[in-house]
Amino acid sequence: MSEPIVECEGLVHIYRTTDVEVVALQGLDLRVEPGEVVAVVGRSGSGKTTLMNVIAGIEAPSAGTARVGGYDLARMTEQERDRYRQEVVGYVLQHSQANLATDLNAFENVLLPMSAGSAADSRQRASFLLETMGISRLAANYPGELSGGEAERLAVAIAMANQPQVLLADEPTAELDRATADALLRDLRQLLRESGSAAVMVTHDASVERHADRVIQIRDGRTSTQTRWREEAGEVVADELLIMDRAGRIQLPRAYVERLGARGLIRAHLEGDEIRLRRGDPESTDG
Ligand code: ADP
Ligand code: MG
């Protein structure tokens, strides 16, 4: 396996307000390979935006490790944090308009985060980004003149301005209808491929899964199961990967729990490096 571009282990994030503590992430594990597109799916309140903010370098982890593109996010100086946010990650915030400077047109919005390189190079990259995201014709338009889908496309172009190693997108399709969302995600993937960037997209919309290499479920601030899609004899097959934490705990997908039809005792049978699970029978003691 290659060096991961994102590696979170036992990631914890606690929000402290005056009288309450909210544990938004409680021991989350996540590993993303360079160029990989990962969808993190979970209900509202499961910690998705918190995860994005931590990887974006906006919130520091309370505990655990988070390494992204060679940076240790738990131990960054302010200077490193600025450089990290400028060079390593691009972030599409949950509400697309929040990403846009209202007094600049679309082209100027994409130019804004670019600092390195010549002006000519920047303009060329901005044109390429608008082109790939299918909004070249809107280059001179202001954010207030864009539809939801167009604003989201522009937000992606801005986040990709500095060719980040990792694109982060928080619910990129939440405000869009199905067809608009699918078209946007297709163009987004094309742009990621051409830029060689990895992506972590968080969503409560399960249909985003089809646009990712891998899907991770997040529940109560913790990753539970992963699904990796692969082709087998022309058919797309889903492989469930279960995550075992350091204490050896595994969370089974709901469908498996239903199939086993039981809580409590489960018989685990180890054969070489394979584990077989059966419904446990408390009465019998034989193998
Ligand atoms: P999601 O994006 O999956 O809906 P969030 O990461 O926004 O989840 O929130 C996870 C948990 O953390 C929720 O219980 C939420 O209420 C809480 N939370 C989020 N942001 C803050 C904050 N700034 N202060 C306190 N609690 C927060
Ligand atoms: Mg959120």
Determine the Cα–Cα distance for residues 91 and 71; give it in Å rounded to an integer: 17
- Ligand 1, from 11, 14, 15: best to mutate by most atoms within 8 Å of Cβ? 15
Q: Whose CA is nearest to atom 25 of ligand 1?
A: 15
Give the pLDDT band (50/70/90) at residue 6: very high
Q: Which amino acid is at 46?
A: S
In the structure, which protein residues have their CB atom closer than 6 angstroms to any atom of ligand 1? 15, 17, 22, 24, 42, 44-50
The ligand with the least distance to the CA atom of 45 is: 1
- Ligand 1 atom at minimum distance from 221 CA: 10
pLDDT of residue 273: 82
Q: Whose CA is nearest to atom 23 of ligand 1?
A: 15
Question: Closest Cα partner for 205 from 74, 17, 42, 85?
Answer: 42
Determine the Cα–Cα distance for residues 262 and 273; give it in Å rounded to an integer: 24
DSSP 8-state symbol, 144? G
pLDDT of residue 228: 67
Q: Whose CA is nearest to atom 6 of ligand 1?
A: 47
Work out the average pLDDT over 281-287: 55
Residue pLDDT, tens place only, 175-197? 889 999 999 999 999 999 999 99
Three-state DSSP state, 142? coil
- Judge contact between 53 and 66, C-beta under 8 A: no
In this predicted structure, the answer to whether residue 285 has a pLDDT above a threshold of 60 is no
pTM (two decimals): 0.84
- Ligand 1, from 12, 14, 17, 22: best to mutate by most atoms within 8 Å of Cβ? 22
- Ligand 1 atom at minimum distance from 43 CA: 3
Q: Which CATH architecture has domain 6-232?
A: 3-Layer(aba) Sandwich (3.40)
- Ligand 1 atom at minimum distance from 46 CA: 3
Greatest mean pLDDT among 143-152, 174-183, 276-285: 143-152
Distance 47 CA to ligand 1 centre (A): 6
In this predicted structure, the answer to whether residue 8 has a pLDDT above a threshold of 90 is yes
Q: DSSP for 70-102?
A: TEETTS--HHHHHHHHHHTEEEE-SSGGGGS-T
In this predicted structure, the answer to whether residue 287 has a pLDDT above a threshold of 50 is no
Distance 58 CA to ligand 1 centre (A): 14
In this predicted structure, the answer to whether residue 90 has a pLDDT above a threshold of 90 is yes
Give the pLDDT band (50/70/90) at residue 254: low
pLDDT of residue 150: 95
Work out the average pLDDT over 75-94: 94
Distance 262 CA to ligand 1 centre (A): 32
pLDDT of residue 175: 84
The residues near 204 (Cβ < 8 Å, ≥ 6 apart) are 41, 42, 43, 44, 48, 171, 174
User: E-assigned strands of 136-189?
Assistant: 166-170
Distance 34 CA to ligand 1 centre (A): 28
Cα pseudo-dihedral 102, 201, 219, 271, rounded to 10: -170
- Ligand 1 atom at minimum distance from 53 CA: 6
* Helix boundaries (H) for 198-267: 254-260
The tokens of 282 are what? Answer: 């408390």
Give the pLDDT band (50/70/90) at residue 262: low
In this predicted structure, the answer to whether residue 62 has a pLDDT above a threshold of 90 is yes
Work out the average pLDDT over 40-68: 94
Residues of the chain with CATH 3.40.50.300: 6-232
Q: Whose CA is nearest to atom 15 of ligand 1?
A: 45
The ligand with the least distance to the CA atom of 47 is: 1
Residue pLDDT, tens place only, 195-231? 999 999 999 887 788 889 888 888 888 877 766 666 6
At CB < 8 A and 24+ separation, what contacts does 146-151 make?
146/106, 148/96, 148/175, 148/176, 148/180, 149/176, 149/180, 149/183, 149/184, 151/96, 151/97, 151/100
